[in-house]
Structure 1
Amino acid sequence: MPKAYPAEFRARAVAVVRAGKSVRWTALELEISESCLHSWIKQDRIDHGERPGLSSTEHADLVTAKRRIRQLETELEVLREASKIYEELKGDPKGHSR
């Protein structure tokens, strides 16, 4: 798994490149890969409306929504199974299955 850098560190790295330093120089100085820095710059441009794509906030919202959907689907499946069991038991007043 890639190393997670704090948001402040990423923002400072992007700011250095925006101020005119090369990606290569900045990556070497900060001891990060150029590809990592390029991806931060790309996301920064999206976040600032300079290129199309999902902003960081939209991406986070989408991840949260997908997680919630998975949770709700699981809960729905549990309720469906419970409903089946209930219907089976309801048919026999003593609670015995047929």
Structure 2
Amino acid sequence: MANSYPPEFRWKVLALVASGRPVVKVAAEFGISDQTIYNWRRQHLADSGQLPSVASSTRPELAAALDQITELEAELANRRRAAQLLAMSPPRSA
């Protein structure tokens, strides 16, 4: 399970790296992986518009939109299947 660190901790780590300290040393000092720091830095650059990516603030909206798309696609598939079944059924006599 991934650890969750408070934003203040992340900012402190990123500030140390931005000041020129090597990522590997900062990671060892705080007991976190260097990959975690690289991920935080990449997300910070995306959030600040310096890197083309999805900003953290839009991720919940994106997830909700993807859920809605999945639901709509399932509903469309059901309606298409129903239309096929109706087209295959023999006509009813009055």
Same fold (TM over 0.5): yes
- Sequence identity percentage: 24
Q: Give the conservation status (yes or no) of the 8 Å contact 1:43–1:55.
A: yes
Q: How many residues align?
A: 91
Moved over 4 A (4+): none
Gap regions ≥5 residues in structure 2: none
In 2, Cα distance between equivalents of 1:47 and 1:11: 16
**Structure 1 residue 73: Cα displacement:** 0.7
**Structure 1 residue 42: Cα displacement:** 1.2
2:30 paired with 1:6: no
**Structure 1 residue 50: Cα displacement:** 3.2
> What TM-score do the two structures reach when normalised by structure 1?
0.66
Gap regions ≥5 residues in structure 1: none
In 2, Cα distance between equivalents of 1:31 and 1:59: 28
> What TM-score do the two structures reach when normalised by structure 2?
0.68
RMSD: 2.8
Letter in 1 for 2:2: A
